[in-house]
Amino acid sequence: MELEDGVLYQEDPGTSAMMSERVSGLASSIYREFERMIGKYDEDVVKELMPLVVAVLENLDSVFAENQEHEVELELLKEDNEQLITQYEREKALRKSAEERYIEYEDSQEQDKKDLQTRVQMLEAQTRQMELKTKNYADQIGRLEEREAELKKEYNALHQRHTEMIHSYMEHLERSKYQQMTGETTDTGSQSRISST
């Protein structure tokens, strides 16, 4: 008996489009393995394992999707940070230029000196704001990178757990099959001895 479509993992067009390619490929491989196991043994061999595998795949897909979202957000923050740095350097250059002009014209009219001083103060205030924004973005990037590392670690742990579950279950099936064959052999031998008696 074959698995019905969607038993292992929802495979309708809407869900499949949103499932990560990596998890989708893993789900397909497990789906084929379950079909092979059912064909070789019976559908009961995967009945209890199937919900566990579905849960693991859903967790994997959720973690992978969240990781991709954070990667996109991280890239956007990096771009914003680069723009802020560029703007900061531009403002820094303007400040330097204003200071040079101030020194050059400090002996000129008093009103010109006041205007230049005001401009320098404005540029300094803008520079401080840019420095603060740059620091905040750097902190955000650091936190997102830490979160990305945590998500990767969670994904790897889930993947390892899934692999161990499959291996453990296959070993259980082989032991059960061996015990069943051993039991049948023992029964046959006992019946032969009884007949000869």
CB atoms within 10 A of CB 180: 10
Q: How far apart are CA 64 and CA 161, in angstroms?
A: 16
In-domain check, residue 54: yes
Domains identified in the chain, total number: 1
Q: What is the mean pLDDT of residues 136-164?
A: 89
In-domain check, residue 137: yes
User: Quick one: how far is CA 102 from the chain centroid?
Assistant: 53
Quick: pLDDT tens for 103-134.
777 767 777 778 888 888 999 999 999 999 88
Instruction: Give the CATH number for residue 97.
Output: 1.10.287
**Residue of 139, 34, 5 lying closest to 81 (CA atoms):** 139
Q: Is the pTM of this model over 0.75?
A: no
- Contacts with 48 (C-beta within 8 Å, 6 or more apart), sequence order: none
Q: What is the mean pLDDT of residues 79-95?
A: 89
Find the domain containing 46 and state its range.
Answer: 13-183
In-domain check, residue 189: no
